[in-house]
Amino acid sequence: MQIVKIDTAPFSEQRPGTSGLRKKVRIFQQPHYLENFVQSIFDTQQALVGGTLVVGGDGRYYNREATQIILRMAAANGVACVIVGQGGLLSTPALSCLVRKYNAQGGIVLSASHNPGGPDEDFGIKFNAANGGPAAEAVTEAIYQRTTEINGYQTLESAEIDLDHIGASRLDGMQIQIIDPVTDYAALMQTLFDFDCIRRLLTSSHFRMRFDAMHAITGVYATRILEEMLGAPAGTVINSRPLPDFGGGHPDPNLVHAHELVHMTQGHNGVDFAAASDGDGDRNMILGQNFFVTPSDSLAIIAANAHLIPGYQQQKIDGVARSMPTSQAVDRVADKLGMDCFETPTGWKFFGNLLDAGRITFCGEESFGTGSSHVREKDGLWAVLFWLNLLAVKQQSVATIVQDHWREFGRNYYTRHDYEGVDKAAATHLMQDLRNRLGSLPGRQMQGHTVEYADDFAYTDPIDNSRSEHQGLRVGFTDGSRIIYRLSGTGTQGATLRVYLETYEATPEKQQQATASVMAPLVSIAQELAQIVQKTGRDNPTVIT
């Protein structure tokens, strides 16, 4: 087959965000758009020449077409072998697993994670490094810089590759391995968790659970592992079939978008345990009967109970890390257990160096992402299996486990307000105006709260000393409460302003209050301080989690 060189010109705005390049499908469908970005990966990542690449995505609209484009370009650019999930499908944590297991030189994830899918919705592409994790900022910056000067790309003229049948084939001189997307990942989970113990729980008559795959990629994994391997009754996994438009839903596992699942946990007949995952399988939501576990609490409980889980019993828990907006609940666990605790910017890539250096075992973000050293991505189904193993060992309800944790470590009340689709200029002005006023805030009294510090969070990586500036505006009060403001990098339209609020309660008798009532004063302060209504025109957030 002949390599074809196609002339092209740069597109504007191909800079990857915290989770790769995300745009509307119709933007990716423009001639040369995806090809420019993919060629920029090959141009800057020379280890892929003669190396192995893993490719897969969450099955959203344009997934199959993009996979075909990448395979032809990989062959034209000298990649020796590409491992592809059957049908072009791989969850993000499974791709990380494969990169690490087969010593690949990198991976390409096709996903926009929790964003909606369909011809008028979102698509995304992300490069993962040889450690299986999201590429470091230096790598994504090099890829972006290449997109600004690119004038051509290389591909092959060939028939479509058969993605649906497991086995090996060749495209010109490149080997293509179509593999079952679940097998290697499931094998890794078996090394971490007590499957026999979980099986006894799932097959007992007194325990009921539901897992909402939200018509996304995790349906493939959850059906195989929970129902087929662990014996959960058929129908335990709902919305299990991955669909290009996620069934018209929003594949974001939170209390708003997974309302069907939330309803199943409510009332006297509610299920004992429920969980959901997102578009590409890296996020999770954990629920008990009439009980929601915040992602921040989930991370803290995982760290506090790791000694009960087989895969972590024999190893020293090196430390923990959380993103800066995540609540400080895990800090309290680390302090009591004598572990290191790191505060990083938002974005899983910041955990990668700490994991590779053996400085941490568990990490998480408040945006429903939790993970450990087993891969270099957050992992939704891993978190669910951890909780199932914990429930099986403790023989307690979700609520009891969480409330016992609060009594021992205290409760970090926490909530997040998202203002989605805000005018970008207005959101930028809001952040800059508040940034300009940070220096005047310490000592200021606000509705009974005294500001102790106010800053623009910056992070120096303790492993490579790289510096990341402007990672979120923090306002901390003398009673330990915090308000944080960030502009999210995961949306594709307008801007998303995220406001995070946290306050600590050590007294057990006060730990059962409703979150909304406890947080109401901070919500009022946050709106007043940033002048959200005046600057954005939004009276209320789009989503509260």
CATH number at residue 486: 3.30.310.50
Distance CA 288, CA 274 (A): 6
Write the pLDDT tens digit of every residue in 222-278: 999 999 999 999 999 999 999 999 999 999 998 889 999 999 999 999 999 999 999
pLDDT of residue 76: 98
Residues 6 or more apart whose Cβ sits within 8 Å of residue 45: 105, 106, 127, 139
**Domain final residue pick, 135, 154, 181:** 181
Nearest to 305 by CA among 221, 222, 411, 193: 193
Distance CA 284, CA 384 (A): 7
Rg value, the chain, Cα: 23
pLDDT of residue 349: 87
Banded model confidence at residue 494, pLDDT cuts 50, 70, 90: confident
The total domain count for the chain is 3
Domain extent at residue 191: 185-409
Question: Does 407 score more than 70 pLDDT?
Answer: yes
Mean pLDDT over residues 329-358, rounded? 95
Q: Are 398 and 337 within one domain?
A: yes
Question: Does 490 score more than 60 pLDDT?
Answer: no
Q: Are 315 and 374 within one domain?
A: yes
pLDDT of residue 2: 87
Q: Are 318 and 209 within one domain?
A: yes
Dump the DSSP string for 194-252: -HHHHHHHHTSTT--EEEE-TTSTHHHHHIIIIIIIT-PPTTSEES-S--TTGGGS---
Write the pLDDT tens digit of every residue in 371-401: 999 999 999 999 999 999 999 999 999 999 9
**Domain final residue pick, 145, 160, 181:** 181
Q: Are 152 and 17 within one domain?
A: yes
CATH number at residue 267: 3.40.120.10
Mean pLDDT over residues 473-487, rounded? 96
Q: Are 38 and 177 within one domain?
A: yes
Name residue 383's amino acid: A
Distance CA 361, CA 312 (A): 9
Banded model confidence at residue 492, pLDDT cuts 50, 70, 90: low
Give yes or no: 205 in active site: no
**Domain final residue pick, 147, 181, 215:** 181
Residues 6 or more apart whose Cβ sits within 8 Å of residue 355: 131, 133, 363, 373, 376
Task: Check residue 366 and give left, alpha or beta (phi > 0: left; psi -120 to 50: alpha).
Answer: alpha
Residues 6 or more apart whose Cβ sits within 8 Å of residue 400: none
pLDDT of residue 479: 94
Banded model confidence at residue 489, pLDDT cuts 50, 70, 90: low
156 bridge partner residues: 3
Dump the DSSP string for 351-369: HHHHHHTTS-SEEEETTTE
Of residues 367 and 329, more confidently modeled: 329
**Three-state secondary-structure class, residue 426:** helix
Q: Are 405 and 415 within one domain?
A: no
Q: Are 206 and 132 within one domain?
A: no
Q: Are 305 and 432 within one domain?
A: no
Q: Are 370 and 455 within one domain?
A: no
pLDDT of residue 535: 95
Q: Are 389 and 478 within one domain?
A: no
Question: Does 315 score more than 80 pLDDT?
Answer: no
Banded model confidence at residue 17, pLDDT cuts 50, 70, 90: confident
Among the ranges given (300-309, 345-354, 360-369), the one the predictor scored with the smallest mean pLDDT: 345-354
CB 198 within 8 A of CB 385: yes
**Which residue spans within 43-95 are E strands per DSSP?**
52-57, 81-89
Write the pLDDT tens digit of every residue in 149-172: 999 999 999 999 999 999 999 999
The dihedral built from the CA positions of residue 104, 106, 109 and 113, taken in this order, carries a sign that is positive
Q: Are 347 and 223 within one domain?
A: yes
Q: Are 118 and 203 within one domain?
A: no
Point out the catalytic residue in the list 40, 113, 240, 373. Answer: 113
461 bridge partner residues: none
Mean pLDDT (the chain) is 95
Residues 6 or more apart whose Cβ sits within 8 Å of residue 338: none
Write the pLDDT tens digit of every residue in 67-124: 999 999 999 999 999 999 999 999 999 999 999 999 999 999 999 999 999 999 999 9
Nearest to 8 by CA among 156, 149, 142: 149
